[in-house]
Amino acid sequence: MVNLLFYIAALVAVLTAVGVVLARNPVISVLSLLSCFASLAVIYLLAGFQFLAAIQILVYGGAIMVLFLFVVMLLNLGGLSQEDGEQDDPLFHDRRRSGGGLAIAVALGSASLIGILRGARHLAEPTNGFAMPEEGLDALPALAEAMFTRYSLPFEAASVLLLSAAVGVMVLAKRQRHDGLAPAPSGEDRP
Amino acid sequence: MTVPTEHLLALAAILFAIGVAGFFTRRNLIVVLTSIELMLNAANLTFVAGARLHSANGGVQVDGPIFVIFVVAVAAVEAAVGLALVIALYRRKQTVSLDAIARMED
């Protein structure tokens, strides 16, 4: 029963991932990615990672995807993709480049699938099934202890990364007015 | 859930391949960024599968979940910087197509 739920969630994840790639409208693409993340959260929950499922919904779905949607709405890109030369077919408007990309993707995917399926018998699958502790496999006390002891250096590096990204985003999104590089903003209200 | 580990890994490989296909074929910058997010999530799923396998074999191992959290942080950074670049590009060229920035001369 639980296994059936996993396969349903996996099917939904793959279908919505295909929707992400094939959607012509960026809004549809972002929303399918949101559904893909939701089904991945279901899979994390089934695998015993409750905290990761919550992170997936809160941070990925709640913050990152809303940021994407915010930018799409801000730039009013909802119906813009027909101006990008993708109106006929989002994948094959440029056959040479798209064919190369698809070939890379198919080669990568099939190689890793073959490797996984051939190497599966070397995985030491547990004999007693996947017995799961009551608090799940990512209990917060153990997670926090590892995060602030063994992984304290990566933790600090992540904080520096976030800080530099915040500064960089401010610099990038700031309107360049006096350097003569930016084109004259036409019809824009200046505060 | 008693799904074998290789099915989780196979799902991650399929999602990653779909993300690679979107990354290399689409010209819309927003869709390219969403494809990158898809690939990062495939990597997360691989971490989860490995952590589940190792935890089942003896004692709970938290290295996998920790790396998933770090990947989520990096994904947030990547989305923020990428979308700021999209906004800057749109301000200059009024488009988000990658074809518009194939040449960096102007």
Q: Is the per-residue pLDDT at A73 higher than 50? A: yes
**A52–B48 C-beta distance less than 8 A:** yes
Domain containing A5 equals 1-79
Total domain count for chain B? 1
- Residue A98 inside a domain? The answer is no
Q: Regarding predicted confidence, which is higher, A111 or B104?
A: A111
Q: Which candidate in A35, A49, A82 is best for mutational testing of the B interface (most B CBs within 10 A)? A: A49
CATH number at residue A47: 1.20.120.1200
| Structure letter (DSSP) for residue A184 | P
- Residue A134 inside a domain? The answer is no
Residue from A166, A84, A66 nearest B89 by CA: A84
CA distance, residue B39 to nearest chain A CA (Å): 10
pLDDT in tens, A96-115: 777 888 889 899 999 999 98
Residue from A1, A13, A16 nearest A43 by CA: A13
Domain containing B30 equals 5-95
Is A51 part of the contact surface with chain B (CB cutoff 8 Å)? yes
| Structure letter (DSSP) for residue A188 | P
Q: Which of the four pLDDT bands, split at 50, 70 and 90, describes residue A128? A: low
CATH number at residue B72: 1.10.287.3510
Compute the average pLDDT of residues A141-159. Answer: 92
In chain A, residues with a C-beta closer than 8 Å to the C-beta of B2 are: 2-3, 129-130
- Residue A103 inside a domain? The answer is no
pLDDT in tens, B17-61: 999 999 988 888 899 999 999 999 999 999 999 888 888 766 778
Q: Is the per-residue pLDDT at A21 higher than 70? A: yes
Strand, coil or helix: what is A186? coil
How far apart CA A181 and CA A189 sit, in angstroms, is 19
- Residue A181 has a pLDDT of 52
Q: Which residues contact A50 (CB under 8 A, 6 or more apart)?
A: A44, A136, A138
This prediction has a pTM of 0.86
Compute the average pLDDT of residues A6-23. Answer: 94
- Residue A190 has a pLDDT of 47
Q: Find tokens 């639980």 and name the residue.
A: A2
- Residue A84 inside a domain? The answer is no
- Residue A139 has a pLDDT of 83
**B28–A36 C-beta distance less than 8 A:** no
How far apart CA B42 and CA B48 sit, in angstroms, is 10
**B44–A123 C-beta distance less than 8 A:** no
Instruction: Tell whether the torsion through CA atoms of A62, A169, B92 and B83 is positive or negative.
Output: negative
Q: Which residue of A has its CA nearest to B98?
A: A84
**A74–B87 C-beta distance less than 8 A:** yes
Q: Which residues contact A104 (CB under 8 A, 6 or more apart)?
A: B20, B24
For every residue of chain B, which 3-state class applies, written as one string?
CCCCHHHHHHHHHHHHHHHHHHHHHCCEHHHHHHHHHHHHHHHHHHHHHHHHHHHHHCCCCCHHHHHHHHHHHHHHHHHHHHHHHHHHHHHHHCCCEHHHHCCCCC
